[in-house]
A and B are shown apart, each in its own frame.
Chain A
């Protein structure tokens, strides 16, 4: 059994101290599976962190563990996740209830299964404000109307008595956003909220969240497998692979100067890049099995530029390559010499 990696100075972002969520060395184990392996990041107040990775990279688990929404047991969480200095990882259920819905709001991937099918929109939208803020039925109702208006649902009064099955996917996700924002949270966690939606609706939802974030000064963690989506909203992006952050940088820097071969692979695998060639680039292979993680670099078996002798035996540490740019590889740290287009055929 491997122990968590020693703490390292990472993610130099927002060293100005105005950090809302500060995650340090977070690790999640479920039985023999090492799902999250020493992840550190921080979310500045009012800022947006994009977390990108393919399915099974541990991105949802990382964020659910950091926000205390993971079931433990069976999951074992270690490390710290400081919300305004208070560690969420060590909170008891009562303290967590004061965080969930109140200070941190959540939107999930599939809006059609995330809303309760037997309760009306009003019932689902008013329960958190009534519980957390002690609003009366009437006040909660008024607030619900404002929220539906704010997320762009036409004719809010008639939608209040609707059941989820009477709404389209995009409308359901808007309702979910309204639910998440119902108590004016400081942090919004969006776990692939546009994946199940069509492209047009996806763009509308993204735009809407951006507006709401700006008007409310809220912080956002946006999880996605799609770099394109994240580029539309994030200030800063962390790329997750095998439950580790392999690269983390401000949005533009990540796009103009990706250092990790996996990040480059993701860039090349975007449909836009392949335009004109008629064939999508892929990263061959699949993510490591969290029950049998390799001893060396987690990306080794899929890496197109592996060459360093340490690759197979040692996990690369997080290495700063710019003031706010860290990367976890032995082969991308040098700006010269390596193949920038790497990772694809």
Chain B
């Protein structure tokens, strides 16, 4: 039973490593192509030819590209992503400092999205053609069309400015003050969660509809099982496979959306970090953040694939 699953996991993990190498190449190459001289920017008004040469040499930017690349990979693998041009701090430390904020916001967002999509999508599918189905489809269509940052601003205006119920921005680590964290994560979480939740509602609906019409659900009904057994055991488990795909894509897409949302809500996560770093041409920080986001992306995909294999025995073999 577990041996094909294990083999699947190992194969999938190797695959991830290969993709990760590709990511390293792309991240490195991208920044070589961006116009502008990072060393000049780093020095700013302190620029002299001597300090320029010194910094170029210290950061290794005077060496041939290929040498730079392999040095970069070697360092990256040992957790050394260089130092920030702006602050002089190690990039790895900066990233680790920002990571929890983004992860907690991302988890809140995807949780809200799932809490919206699963009940509404299933409900709409099981009552296909009813007023509830029509209503849910209309609302989700609206949700899909709303830009998340606009929704964020609207939420701030309504819940903070007008009603004064929740703080408009800021972040408290969950480990320090869970209640404070929750109060602050709700609005940005909603801003990203409602949009992906709306998109996913439509996928959940069509996935459930697909399965409800299948032959094996007819078989389940022909056994005279209670409706909730037919739905819970036979329908949902099979509908989960296509839904997982979309949930993975949505979680990954959400990472991109977080950049804007973190700026809107003054959320000190990776999104704000990369936003500021790009503006300041802080190469090592941009490189490091892109690499980390790519890594998170890969991990999400790996997680989705593992869940696939757990849910659907057929995937373990192929």
Contact = CB atoms under 8 A, between A and B. Distances in A.
Contacts of B229: 127, 131
Interface string B208-239: 00000011101111111111010001100110
A117 interface: yes
Contact of B225 (A97, A99, A117): A97
Contacts of B226: 97, 131
Interface size bucket, A side? 20 to 34
A144 B219 CA distance: 17
B306 interface: no
B311 interface: yes
A131 B226 CA distance: 9
Contacts of A239: none
Interface in B75-134: none
Interface string A116-159: 11110000000110011000000000000000000000000000
Contacts of A108: 215, 218-219, 222
B238 A100 contact: no
Contacts of B237: 118-119
A341 interface: no
A232 interface: no
A102 interface: yes
A72 interface: no
A8 to B, nearest CB: 31
A180 B218 CA distance: 12
A168 interface: no
Contacts, number: 78
A118 B313 contact: yes
B276 interface: no
Contact of B224 (A97, A161, A163): A97
A127 B223 contact: yes
A106 B216 CA distance: 12
B222 A163 contact: no
Nearest to B219: A114
Interface string B301-318: 000000000011110010
Nearest to A106: B222
B1 interface: yes
Contact of A115 (B219, B224, B312, B314): B219
A106 B223 CA distance: 8
Contact of A93 (B227, B314, B317): B227
Contacts of B222: 69, 100-101, 105-106, 108, 180
A110 B224 CA distance: 20
Given A163-B313, A165-B317, A117 B223 contact: no
Given A97-B226, A131-B223, 6 more contacts: A108-B219, A116-B219, A117-B314, A118-B311, A165-B317, A179-B223
9 contacts: A96-B224, A97-B225, A108-B218, A113-B216, A119-B233, A131-B223, A132-B224, A176-B219, A179-B223
